[in-house]
Structure 1
Amino acid sequence: MKTNLLTFLVLIFCFLSIKTTVTAGVLQKKPFIVVLDAGHGGHDTGNRGNGFVEKDIALDVTLQVGKILESEPGFKVIYTRKTDVFVILEERGPIANKVDADIFVSLHCDSFTNQAHGFGTFVMGIDKSGKNLNTAKKENEVIFLEENYEERYAGFDPNSPESLIGLTLMQEEYLDQSITLAGLIQSKVVSSLKRNDRSVRSAPFWVLHSSYMPSVLIEMGFLTHNTEGKYLNSKSGRKEMAQEIAKGIIAYKNNISLATSDAQNPTITEEEIKEAIETSEEKIYKGIEFRVQLAASSKKLDEKSYNFKGLKGVDREKEGALYKYYYGKTSDYNEIQLMKTYAQEKGYTSAYVVAFKSEKKVKLSDVLKNEDN
């Protein structure tokens, strides 16, 4: 009886071990899902600067980006369109939600009345100056090409600042990751292709607002610019653009794993965070100092990097019976979000942003609501 019981327990142990190994293998093989969105399509041509066609350029580059990513291990690519068809704006973000995508990337070309030029990336949001609203309005106005748009978009007006500001709420949770993704793409394209740097900026795009993951919109350049338009319409220009955009996405995939990162082997480097900060648009709150709170402890530690997983420039302050440790010090909210991302990647997964005014801690939510800063 004991022998039979022992044999039974061994078999159970072996079964559970095999099951655990298989389960772990399945989890490890979960692909990094990228949804690529070629802007416009079908009867929506996009802008026609210098006679070039935005929808065709966007689709060609998107398919090339996808092909590169699909050749990389661990990637799965899904397209909102692979042919010249019209996809309504309302459906593009939800495609990414349905497949539980890791990131959503929408590709476009810009236009203007003068010879403006350069490569830019956008995340969802409102810059306090409102200077990026025009770009968002142009992309959002494609809803007028849809049947029954008045019912579908429930009174949304692409030309109304109030309507546009209302779009920003859904993406706030993913803002720091979106900025990191946009910064990596921006730096790859600008540095490798020597394009004019229009930075990472925020604007209220309908196509980004409903996606439940880090999302960016790329404006590859201006078709209305005499030289840049020709470059984007050329075979070589599209190929180069696709290669560098893909490299930025690959860098993000390799670098970002906030909740599950191994603190001993962080994948984001300090240099990459600096690159992302340099290419991000500033979001300054005058008179406010943002910091990342790493920890609170009764233990007094020297402010040396070896005590803080390699983070440099950590400050210590005594508050009551506790010592609080802060990383970073800036009035730029976008910069502190990136620094928080880096701190989380280094192992401080519960790190969060705090705000100070005249050296006194103030409520962060109140600071962000106050547009007079």
Structure 2
Amino acid sequence: MVRIVLDAGHGGKDSGAVGNGLREKDLTLNIVKKIGNLLAEYEDVEVHYTRTDDRFIELSERAAIANKLKADYFISVHINAGGGTGFGSYIFNGNVSNAAVAYQNVIHSEIMKAIGNVTDRGKKRANYAVLRETHMPALLTENLFIDNKNDAAKLDSEQFLLQVAYGHVQGIAKAFGLKKKAKSQPQQKSSDGKMYRVQVGAFSDRKNAERLAEELKKKGYPAVIV
């Protein structure tokens, strides 16, 4: 059993970065819930959250939650600010395990594949509390810039946030060798008997687009790759 702790950055009195009508704390919670929902489709994985609603939690408490659970992995989801653009990921800049480095390499790559034409800011290291104080391999992702108009337009899209979450999940599944549950779900039809097309963003990797299309089909949404 792989135990994953998902941490939605900020919350409550701490809104995190703000810009273009968006708040970091709302976006991170949205993404984390999507990650958890997608991970539920895999075998032998246990998902925990540091928060599932809009509440303030100290950084040390976030790490303590993961440590108490003896988690196998910790991911903290954030949105960047400061005038840049693109996606970046961080592990602790002190002593880290080889596993932490390997997991960052895999997950970073899968997220970049999933989110399409976005600047890759690279795999970095930093002395962030949630990376420093967790006792297991940990990763912090910075998913675009809330104060960049073009980035914010993407972040304001549920479709794009699903792609961000999907990239995280593909990375986790690949890093830990997770397998999908062998359970087929019947395709659902709308009440009027019609079928509606769902278009979900752009992918830089066709295989990722095909996998997400399959996910949507299982949930009853006809998905077409164009």
Q: Same fold (TM over 0.5)?
A: yes
Q: Which residue of 1 aligns with 2:87?
A: 119
Q: Which segment drifts farther, 59-68 or 226-235?
A: 226-235
The question of whether the paired residues in 2 share the 8 Å contact of 1:179 and 1:200 is answered with no
**What secondary structure is seen at the aligned counterpart in 2 of 1:198?**
strand
**What secondary structure is seen at the aligned counterpart in 1 of 2:20?**
helix
**TM-superposed deviation, 1:173:** 4.1
The whole-number CA distance in structure 1 between the counterparts of 2:49 and 2:122 is 26
> Which entry has the higher C-alpha Rg, 1 or 2?
1
1:64 aligns with 2:48: no
Residues 32-111 of structure 1: pairs in structure 2 closer than 5 A: 32-111=2-81
**What secondary structure is seen at the aligned counterpart in 2 of 1:42?**
coil
Q: Which residue of 1 aligns with 2:217?
A: none
The whole-number CA distance in structure 2 between the counterparts of 1:227 and 1:173 is 35
Q: Deviations over 1:288-310 (max 9, x none)?
A: xxxxxxxxxxxxxxxxxxxxxxx
In the alignment, structure 2 segments of 5+ residues that lack a partner are: 179-226
Q: Which has the higher contact order (CA 8 A, sep 6+)?
A: 2
Q: Deviations over 1:328-355 (max 9, x none)?
A: xxxxxxxxxxxxxxxxxxxxxxxxxxxx
1:178 aligns with 2:178: no
Q: Which residue of 1 aligns with 2:147?
A: 224
Q: Which has the higher helix share?
A: 1
The question of whether the paired residues in 1 share the 8 Å contact of 2:114 and 2:163 is answered with no
Residues 287-366 of structure 1: pairs in structure 2 closer than 5 A: none
| Residue-pair matches, total | 177
* Percent of aligned positions that are identical: 32
The whole-number CA distance in structure 2 between the counterparts of 1:38 and 1:93 is 12
**TM-superposed deviation, 1:106:** 0.2
**TM-superposed deviation, 1:179:** 1.7
In the alignment, structure 1 segments of 5+ residues that lack a partner are: 1-30, 126-167, 256-373
Q: Which residue of 1 aligns with 2:138?
A: 215
The whole-number CA distance in structure 1 between the counterparts of 2:160 and 2:2 is 27
**TM-superposed deviation, 1:185:** 1.5
Q: Which residue of 1 aligns with 2:114?
A: 192
Shift in alpha-carbon separation, 1:192–1:173, aligned structure 2, 3 A: closer
Please provide the CA RMSD for this pair: 1.2
